[in-house]
Amino acid sequence: MSIFIDKDTKLVVQGITGRDGSFHTKQMIEYGTKVVAGVTPGKGGQTFEGTVPVFNTVYDAVEKTGANTAVIYVPPMGAADAIMEAADAGCALVVCITEGVPVLDMTKVYPFVKEKGARLLGPNCPGLISPGASKVGIIPGRICAPGPVGVVSRSGTLTYEIVYQLTRAGIGQTTCVGIGGDPINGTNFIDCLAAFEKDPHTKAVAMMGEIGGTDEQEAADFVKHHMTKPVVGFIAGQTAPPGRRMGHAGAIISGSAGTAAEKIDAFKAAGMGVAKRPIDFVDLIKAGLK
């Protein structure tokens, strides 16, 4: 099984005719994802690659094709409206790949999506993939394999590294989720951990955090009190200087709460395995699966 997406996922791609949207739509179709529609205002009536109908609005796309999931490849200044349009049209899951969405915009988007009963993944995330079933976003399908490990990460490229190491060692994944590293995102570690805990086919979880904020500490507390499955954690940015933003907008240390040391201590206190390097996930996950 998997979380959030599966073989029944019907995807609408917002920004399907743009450079990034068209490139990754081809990749998703090749992987086997059911891409049922695309949206580019003003280009309704066209088709993408001769098979995927393009609509002017997400509402029309959902009404005509039954799409239940949206993925967004539109410029930052239009991303907030695109997220709200997808949620308002009835998409249960909205995945925003776009980087650079203004934080002020997200303060309006987050409650709107919640009110509509939808789940938002991102923004500034690589999306997710359930190996052998569906891929929504930009995670390379060739590095993934079906198996018993759930993966959740704030970092896109770190997600790829961990997944590659696991697959190379013969350890497949149920679902790999990149939640994004912006200060305000739609789905957090706890959301994913709770879903993995409920999924009968997920036997262990690999979790990649980074400096800044307290999300990892809160996730560790959830693991301690609510998880029955083994969880292995890693924190990126262990050598980052205090007060300096490192890549992600959320990866900044303010005081002591966001340091790598504080997060690692929280992991250990929760009984989690702690990886010092990405390659360490292999042995730690193997131990947890025994």
252 near 237, Cβ under 8 Å? no
Catalytic residue among 24, 201, 225, 248: 248
Residue with tokens 């980052």: 240
Average pLDDT over residues 151-156: 92
253 falls in which pLDDT band (50, 70, 90)?
very low
- Provide the residue ranges of all domains of the chain, joining segments of one domain with +: 10-121, 139-289
Q: Which helix (H) or strand (E) holds 146?
A: strand 146-153
Active site residue 248: yes
The per-residue pLDDT for range 97-118, each reduced to its tens digit, is: 999 999 999 999 999 999 999 9
Q: Do domains 10-121 and 139-289 have the same CATH topology?
A: yes
Domain spanning 10-121: CATH 3.40.50.300: no
Domain 139-289 class?
Answer: alpha beta
Give CA–CA dist 136/125, Å, rounded: 11
The whole-number pLDDT of residue 99 equals 95
251 falls in which pLDDT band (50, 70, 90)?
very low
Instruction: Determine if the pTM surpasses 0.85.
Output: yes
